[in-house]
Amino acid sequence: MELTSEHWFQLNLAAALAVLAFIAVYTAPIKWVVLALIIILPFQIISSRYGSFNIYLIYLVSFVFIIRGQLREFPLIYYVFFIALAYFISFSFVLPVTRGDHLLYLFFIGSNFLIFYISYNYFKYKSNEKDFFLIFMVLTGLILLYSLAQLIVGMDPNSPLFGEKFGLRPPREDGRLTGPFSAVGLTAEYMVIAIFTLSYILVTTKPNLRLRFLIWSMIMASFAAMIATANRGAIITLVICGIFYLLIFRKELGTRGILQAVVGIPFAFALASAIVINFTDFNRLFDRLSETEVEEGIPDTRSVVWPLTWERIQLSPIVGNGPQWKLSEETYQKRGVLKQIPMPHNLYLYIVGTIGVIGLIAYLFFWMRMMYFFYQGAFSQFSENNNGSIPKLALILMAVFFIDQMKVEFLRSETTEFQHVMFMLWGALLALSSKSTLRSLSTADHN
């Protein structure tokens, strides 16, 4: 294949960046390396069909950290091996002409577990709960600023802030906010996560007046961004997990705090809705709510894709049809390749459709074992000598994830930035959740 001058420039630029990144990662203090990595996770600075800059940076940081002895523990490693086995079993059954696409996807997936272990080891040995809150607020603040810029620009596709390679993601034609992530459903899900985490910080850390105002402003902005996505499922997730939040934190909140939440959250939602609907172009939420229909127990927007997905699953229910759901256009032109079908908009169907029932079991084992750790940290006899609040927050966020992923799939190859954020959060929460308790419980799961 003959490379154009643009391709040569991109290759040389990538090589130069790789050398500079290796030197920077190897020589810089661990703290600044991890902080910089976490801060850029939601943003695909450079991206192509072969992956984003962030994916390669995660592999580089992992390699350097192994050399420097910074990756000391690998919790849930046997569950990760089970997931890897499911992927490779599924890969072994794909057509030879599709292997390139599937291998590339496996490379992407590998970065998720690497950022999980980077985050876990950093927050276990180099950081603490206070630092995590600060990092989360900075990360969320940047995501909100990105979303605010999209809200201000509106539906003008000719804005200089939009660009093919550098710039904001262009607006969707249906008037829904995308944020930095590749799917409105994932942006909405992150906003729900932000609302609960910021509320937790507000309740448990007792910040001063200035910081309290900042946190409240970020909560309001998160509501506004969630509403601007016009994602109906996020509202359902917010309500269900909001009830769970009030129950699990009833001691920390007290009667007064619960009453304030019951009154304050609907007020914040109403105020944010009024602002978004009257002052931005992203005012589709309530129209979509009024248009919602259910066909034979299935939401109208899923009545086509779910049956198509089920037909595809039946072709190979045990091992799936291959790790990568969406192949390249060139691959679809080759003989014997199954025709492209839409995404199922359901993580669990997505997993079964790609790596089969074996893969779904593997992922569920991984997540359930992690939830067991959080449960132990929150409610076991050990929690009296440790901070049981972080594990409680982790349980809330896991509930958000499990419920919300019924209407979107975060494992798409186009949404690696959201995958990285989630695996980073899981690693951090696992490390911070009653460290001594987790160490005694997870001995069998370490390397």
Asked if 441 and 385 sit in the same domain, the reply is yes
Token representation of residue 57: 């940076």
Q: What is the pLDDT of residue 10?
A: 64
Say if residue 439 is in the same domain as residue 316. yes
Q: Going by C-beta distance under 8 Å and a sequence separation of 6 or more, which residues neighbour residue 48?
A: none
**Residue 82 pLDDT exceeds 90:** yes
Lookup result for tokens 């790596």:
355
In the prediction, which pLDDT does 5 show? 65
In contact, 406 and 241? CB cutoff 8 Å: no
Q: How far apart (Å, rounded) are the C-alpha atoms in residues 11 and 375?
A: 48
In a domain, 285, yes or no: yes
Pull the structure tokens for residue 165: 């390679």
Beta strands in 120-245 (DSSP E): none
- Confidence grade of residue 169 (pLDDT, cut at 50, 70, 90): low
Q: Longest Cα pair distance anywhere in the chain, in angstroms?
A: 70
Please state the rounded mean pLDDT for residues 183-210: 91
Asked if residues 423 and 397 have their Cβ atoms less than 8 Å apart, the reply is no
113, 196: one domain: no
Say if CB 161 and CB 149 are below 8 A apart. Answer: yes
Tell whether the model's pLDDT for residue 261 goes beyond 60.
Answer: yes
| Res 11: pLDDT | 65
Q: Mark whether 419 and 340 lie in a shared domain.
A: yes
| CB-count burial class (<10 Å; 0-12, 13-18, 19+) for 82 | middle
pLDDT tens digits, one per residue of 354-413: 999 999 999 999 999 999 999 888 876 554 444 558 999 999 999 999 999 999 999 999
Residues 233, 264 within the same domain = yes
CA–CA dist 362, 57 (Å, integer): 27
Q: Domain residues for 278? A: 141-292
On whether both 65 and 202 belong to a single domain, the answer is no
- Please compute the mean of the pLDDT values over residues 254-271 and round it to a whole number: 86
Residue 77 lies in a domain: yes
CA distance 105 to 172: 26
